[in-house]
Structure 1
Amino acid sequence: MDKVSSDCPYPGCFFCVMKEGNPSKRRASILKFFRELPSQDDDGQVLPISGLWNTAMAHPNDQEFIDLGIFECMAALIWKGLKNRRWLAHDQNIYIPYYAAHIIGSYTMNMEEFADSAVHAGVIPPLVELLRGRLTWVEQRVAVRALGHLATYSSTFPALASHGEILELSIQLAMSSLEIVYSHFYQYVDRRLSYHCDLLTRGMGGVEMESRKAEEWASQLQCWSLQLINCFAFKPEFLSTICKPEFLIKLPGMWGGLVNENSPAGIGLLRTICHHKLGRGPVASCTGIIEALCNIARSSDDWQYMAIDCLLWLLQDPSTCHKVIDKAVPALVDLAEISALGDHKKLGDTIVSVLQECIQSQGNGRNSLSNRTKEQIEELLNSRQRLKWEKSMPKEDLHIKQAAALVVKLEGNSLFSSGNISGAASKYSEALALCPMRSKKERVVLYSNRAQCYLLLQQPLFAISDATRALCLHNPLNRHAKSLWRRAQAYDMLGLAKESLLDAILFINECSQSNDPDLSLRQNKVPDYAERLVKKQMRAAWLFREAAIKHGGVHCEGDAGDIYGRETDDSEWETASESDIGNDGRDEMGDDDDDDSEWKNEDERKDKYDKPSIKDRLQTFLPENLKALNRSTLSENILQSKIASMDSLWACGMCSGAGEDSGPILSVHPLATATNSLGFDDNLNLAIWG
């Protein structure tokens, strides 16, 4: 290629080609550059590839390079890296296959016509080889990203499906990705490949940043693998391959860890599977999956509604209803008061309708219900009928019922204060029977108080049930602080770390915004009891926990480290009742319910602020920094800045963050900085999750 600029020492320099003012000459030069680059062995080839990577990230919808052969060039470079290891090891060529696959993924992210061009250019075979693990896990990550984009389009999916190994490889990668990243990179700090470190940190930052980004990339590797599988799951012919028990049973636990912000991960794939009759059968046969769906449905998870959808579809299918009904009904009954959840309007009414159909189908002999399940559904239907009756009752009668319920509740408070926990629980049950259905704020308090009793009686399942009912009745939904805390404790008693952690984080967030002196963060600090629980559950829910248990802890500079640290026993933390000491004495449960105005005015409060992503909040609460967090730190606009100040906790694997997809800082041509516009690595289109 002729030298374009006499000032540039590099013949055929891509950046100088880009400076050409004549559009016709510029296009001809770029076309020639793309054709010749794969056959060249000159030093510095990574520089134009790095520039193209930045351009693709910043302008993924720009067609210029598509028409000039960029896909053919990138595919050829990947093949060259796979077949010519001497070239790959020379200069900085080790970076090129990663960048080439990433460029393909960026340009196929939004535009179906670009994806068509990529398929016709032959990008799938080299990407499949990267997916196979022919190089390393960082190339697997960008390969599954690019293939995931190609799989989202109806015109390009058949080309992927013709490569039968893609689905099998994706399933294996989803199950093993965390172990691969941990054992091949994270565990041995002094054995980390330098180019991996450069790609992760762009040449800036040390071990802590490398560890943080490795955890983020491991999460993406797993989540993008699941999303690629999800594209296949929409086609019935692939469900038999996907719905193998050894894979299905692991899906609820594939949640992406604390760094996953946008992907539904395992629960999203389960929802797609449950949407089809062929998928519901295998799911219903796995008892562990149904239990996990019930836990997610009754949690603060962002994807709570997906678990509810799965349970409803399983109940509506006559072939699976009898397998799941006894486990699904208790959870759904607890959720029946939900008014709306995201885009799901009148979700509670939908739940009631489905459960009513279950009762009717039993009458027709299609389903067999246990007595307990039948009682729970009938109790729910009776409560709905009771609500209709109350609408026609005179106001005076309602006030009498309200007053009677208040008296009984105070009796329950007195019994609780005297240590008669069982008696207090009975009184709260009696008060619930008296309390009008429309008095939602008072019913929230009664359910939450009874949940506390069940905690002290060591009955966590009942505590979860009542706390969930309180959270569903509360306005805003899922925002009653004390119920969140009580459910967090109950989930901890059952060993469900993720569910406990999500509730505990949301509890702290609610405390930071509360005017209640019993809830507000005393001296602008996170309550010690909440801090201890969050620290404990962050360890238990750590993304690499299973891999670390299997392969051992992190080794730093030849010194074997304990990734969990040596902590004091975190099992002893305050109960909610202990943390509530200091109230006015009227309600020993510490609930903010004794203002008589709530008996007189049942208008629901409007939600004054949108619920931020639970995983956004998770990134704020780092184990050793919890005490230092004040109320302002908990606000949404502080969350990301807090991530930037992570200390050595990243190295020992106790926490994680999110950030840009990155490449190394290389010695670049002066014009390269003009195209260096980094952006967040994309998340695959959530629309394909249904």
Structure 2
Amino acid sequence: MPLIDDEEVVLVLSGLWNIAMTQPDDPEFPSLGIFDCMVSLIYKGINDRAWLCRDQNMYIPYYAAHIIGSYTMKKVEFAEKGVASGVIPPLLDLMRGEMSWVEQRVAVRALGHLASYGRTFEAVANHEEELVKSAMHLASTCLEVVYNMFVGEKDERKRLKYHKDLLTRGIGGLDMQNRKAEEWASQMQCWSIHLLNCFAVKNRSIDLICTPEFLKDLCEMWGGLVNHSSPAGVGLIRLLCYNKVGRTSIAGSKEIIENLCKLSRSSDDWQYMGIDCLVLLLNDPNTRYKIIEIATFHLTDLAELRTLRGRSKVGEMITKALLCDFKRRKSIINNSEFERALEEIWALKVERRKRVHMVSMEKIEEKRLLVSLIKQEGNHSFWLGKVEAALAKYTEALTLCPLGLTKERAVLFSNRAQCHLLLSDPDAAISDTTRALCLSDPPNSHTKSLWRRSQAYDMKGLAKESLMDCLMFVSGCMKLDTAEHAKIPHYAMRMISKQVDATWLFAAARSKMMNNDVDKVPQWREGTRITSGNKGFMTGLSTILEEPLITKDGNTRRKLERARQRK
């Protein structure tokens, strides 16, 4: 194929690409020298500009790199054949940006597969420093590059035709192109992080990866909605937390710790990774006191978490990390709020637990009735608009409620959170809803608490956390609704619309473009690269502002009644 100058070569290569995608374990083509062929085609595309621009040859380097990645995805034997055929140098050229972002995407994917196997890792590691730096740069900049070069260009005529055709296979308009570009940009970021994982798991290039600038970028790399199985940035952060140098670097960044704390009190699939990171940092004497004050205020809310994604006794693990050297820690850190938080978890997990075994069933039932009466008094005060009085009653009921009455305590925490919302105290609302969600069975399933925490996060401007809670709330509503056609609450749809726009993959890049503060984007080589054209931008979903929450001094009986109906 590399020796044939025929316009149908790309059609043959497209067919081979389809076979490699659908039958990556089939040894026929790898045994026939397909890797040597793909290496020659990539080099021809990079070095022979006239040939590349003729007919449809522009597609060939992309297909060739994709075929290499597909055949090395599952079989170490194929990966060894590829390395022996010299696939690494041309893939490195594409990853450096010798053509465009679509080739970078498939190049970093293929290199990540080769680095995943012990038998081919060292061949990749021969280029370790360049690869790690390139992967870091690509992970940090790829979203902006894709937006500026493609998605942000609303004039379809100014988008490269071969990019559009690769994204949509020649079918579909602007909307499909944008959806696929979003997916591919997310994949490129996640595959770049995967390549870094391959080095980090072997404790290689830790110092290089742990630069403050990259770690700051890393905690914003979400994954999630587009790549459901990828933990993206937090996965690499957790891996770094198993290394002493990594823990020291991460503990030195207040911003990263705050992001881990927010993740630990969210309904994100990777919540447990945030908790793991914080516990690892707390258990290291060299990093414990750098993060203890920030982490304590978040982790105390998770002390009663029983299971999480197959893990048991998660709350016990958190409690053990927080209360390690409890008395000595109090003397080291002079912070009254911090001391109160530790005293609270000590009272909850040690003192009150001891008293549980000393209380008879009769006494528990008496307390249940008393708590129920106090809760009803709180509800009555709430309905009358006396939110502060209701909050006091719910607090009194929680103080008296036995630890074993988890359902009752979950409701009380959730009700008290609603009071905090109405009193414009989102931090307290987040704390109480998190405690209610830890007590729910299964965890994070109490729908009212999810909605209330979503509102609280929205008040604080934390769009990602608000969106995840709202999505979980909608999922819970759908399960509870036994009707054939379950309806999503309109207020939840408004919240989702608002937060989807704020958490859009390209939101940051769009904001830069809107402010005319776009950094220079890597340009293509002369003859094959293009520059950014129109400075237009995609508007995404329209933002719908939520109605303001009730304030304690406002005349808002109508809104209070609406809130009461949701309790």
TM-score, length-scaled by structure 1: 0.75
CA RMSD of aligned residues (A): 2.5
1:299-318 equivalences in 2 (<5 Å): 299-318=266-285
Residues in 2 aligned to 1:41 and 1:48: alpha-carbon distance in whole angstroms: 13
Match of 2:250 in 1: 283
Tell me how far 1:561 sits from its aligned partner: 6.1
Higher alpha-carbon deviation: 291-300 or 154-163: 154-163
Deviations 1:260-314 (A, max 9, x none): 2111001111111111111011111110111110111100111010000000000
| Structure 2 counterpart SS, 1:236 | coil
CA contact (8 A) 1:119 1:159 kept: yes
Matched, 1:64 2:28: yes
C-alpha change, 1:462 and 1:546, in structure 2 (3 Å) is: same
Corresponding residue to 1:471 among 437, 445, 459: 437
Letter in 2 for 1:334: D
Corresponding residue to 1:437 among 383, 403, 417: 403
Matched, 1:148 2:124: no
- Identical residues among aligned pairs (%): 49
Match of 2:95 in 1: 131
Corresponding residue to 1:374 among 339, 350, 353: 339
Residues in 2 aligned to 1:243 and 1:559: alpha-carbon distance in whole angstroms: 34
Residues in 1 aligned to 2:542 and 2:433: alpha-carbon distance in whole angstroms: 33
Residues in 2 aligned to 1:183 and 1:203: alpha-carbon distance in whole angstroms: 22
Letter in 2 for 1:376: A
CA contact (8 A) 1:553 1:560 kept: no
* Matched residue count: 542
Residues in 2 aligned to 1:522 and 1:332: alpha-carbon distance in whole angstroms: 40
Deviations 1:36-56 (A, max 9, x none): x22221221112211211111
Residues in 1 aligned to 2:21 and 2:560: alpha-carbon distance in whole angstroms: 51
Residues in 2 aligned to 1:285 and 1:178: alpha-carbon distance in whole angstroms: 27
Matched, 1:539 2:501: yes
C-alpha change, 1:170 and 1:511, in structure 2 (3 Å) is: same
1:379-398 equivalences in 2 (<5 Å): 379-385=344-350, 386-398=352-364
Corresponding residue to 2:206 among 217, 234, 239: 239
Match of 2:529 in 1: none
Match of 2:136 in 1: 171
Match of 2:181 in 1: 214
C-alpha change, 1:317 and 1:361, in structure 2 (3 Å) is: farther
Letter in 1 for 2:115: A
CA contact (8 A) 1:60 1:107 kept: yes
Letter in 2 for 1:240: D
Higher alpha-carbon deviation: 384-393 or 218-227: 384-393
CA contact (8 A) 1:362 1:369 kept: no
Deviations 1:542-586 (A, max 9, x none): 1111111112399xx98956615766x514267799789579xxx
Letter in 2 for 1:462: A
1:516-531 equivalences in 2 (<5 Å): 524-531=486-493
1:68-107 equivalences in 2 (<5 Å): 68-107=32-71
Tell me how far 1:524 sits from its aligned partner: 4.7
Tell me how far 1:374 sits from its aligned partner: 3.1
Deviations 1:429-477 (A, max 9, x none): 1110101101000000000011111111111111111100100100121
CA contact (8 A) 1:130 1:143 kept: yes
Tell me how far 1:335 sits from its aligned partner: 1.0
Residues in 1 aligned to 2:562 and 2:349: alpha-carbon distance in whole angstroms: 38
Residues in 2 aligned to 1:145 and 1:320: alpha-carbon distance in whole angstroms: 34
Tell me how far 1:81 sits from its aligned partner: 0.5
Deviations 1:486-513 (A, max 9, x none): 1001111111101001111111111122
C-alpha change, 1:578 and 1:51, in structure 2 (3 Å) is: farther
C-alpha change, 1:288 and 1:553, in structure 2 (3 Å) is: closer
1:408-487 equivalences in 2 (<5 Å): 408-487=374-453
1:7-46 equivalences in 2 (<5 Å): 37-46=1-10
More helix per residue:
2
Tell me how far 1:60 sits from its aligned partner: 1.1
CA contact (8 A) 1:219 1:257 kept: no
Residues in 1 aligned to 2:121 and 2:52: alpha-carbon distance in whole angstroms: 31
Deviations 1:569-620 (A, max 9, x none): 514267799789579xxxx4754xxxxxxxxxxxxxxxxxxxxxxxxxxxxx
Tell me how far 1:528 sits from its aligned partner: 2.2
Match of 1:111 in 2: 75
Matched, 1:563 2:539: yes
Match of 1:626 in 2: none
Deviations 1:13-41 (A, max 9, x none): xxxxxxxxxxxxxxxxxxxxxxxx22221
Bigger relative CO (Cα 8 Å, ≥ 6 apart) = 1
Letter in 1 for 2:457: Y
Letter in 2 for 1:97: P
Residues in 1 aligned to 2:483 and 2:424: alpha-carbon distance in whole angstroms: 27
Deviations 1:222-252 (A, max 9, x none): 1111111111222334111111111111222
- Which runs of 5 or more structure 1 residues have no equivalent in the other structure? 1-36, 592-690
Residues in 2 aligned to 1:136 and 1:566: alpha-carbon distance in whole angstroms: 31
Residues in 2 aligned to 1:213 and 1:521: alpha-carbon distance in whole angstroms: 34
Residues in 2 aligned to 1:256 and 1:452: alpha-carbon distance in whole angstroms: 31
Corresponding residue to 1:268 among 227, 232, 235: 235
| Structure 2 counterpart SS, 1:513 | helix
Letter in 1 for 2:196: I
Which segments of structure 1 move beyond 3 Å, counting only runs of 4 or more?
367-371, 520-525, 557-562, 564-567, 573-583, 588-591
TM-score, length-scaled by structure 2: 0.91
Residues in 2 aligned to 1:90 and 1:590: alpha-carbon distance in whole angstroms: 64
Letter in 1 for 2:100: T
CA contact (8 A) 1:338 1:477 kept: yes
C-alpha change, 1:384 and 1:193, in structure 2 (3 Å) is: same
C-alpha change, 1:321 and 1:348, in structure 2 (3 Å) is: same
CA contact (8 A) 1:359 1:374 kept: no
Matched, 1:357 2:357: no
Matched, 1:328 2:303: no
Tell me how far 1:205 sits from its aligned partner: 1.2
Residues in 2 aligned to 1:172 and 1:47: alpha-carbon distance in whole angstroms: 33
C-alpha change, 1:108 and 1:522, in structure 2 (3 Å) is: closer
Residues in 1 aligned to 2:168 and 2:325: alpha-carbon distance in whole angstroms: 55
Residues in 2 aligned to 1:251 and 1:347: alpha-carbon distance in whole angstroms: 25
CA contact (8 A) 2:421 2:549 kept: no
Match of 1:181 in 2: 146
Residues in 2 aligned to 1:49 and 1:205: alpha-carbon distance in whole angstroms: 22
Residues in 1 aligned to 2:558 and 2:364: alpha-carbon distance in whole angstroms: 35
Residues in 2 aligned to 1:420 and 1:198: alpha-carbon distance in whole angstroms: 62
Residues in 1 aligned to 2:438 and 2:347: alpha-carbon distance in whole angstroms: 18
Residues in 2 aligned to 1:425 and 1:581: alpha-carbon distance in whole angstroms: 17
C-alpha change, 1:361 and 1:126, in structure 2 (3 Å) is: farther
Residues in 1 aligned to 2:43 and 2:505: alpha-carbon distance in whole angstroms: 33
CA contact (8 A) 1:325 1:369 kept: no
Residues in 1 aligned to 2:559 and 2:162: alpha-carbon distance in whole angstroms: 50
C-alpha change, 1:467 and 1:76, in structure 2 (3 Å) is: same
Residues in 2 aligned to 1:325 and 1:487: alpha-carbon distance in whole angstroms: 24
Match of 2:304 in 1: 337
C-alpha change, 1:204 and 1:285, in structure 2 (3 Å) is: same
Match of 1:627 in 2: none
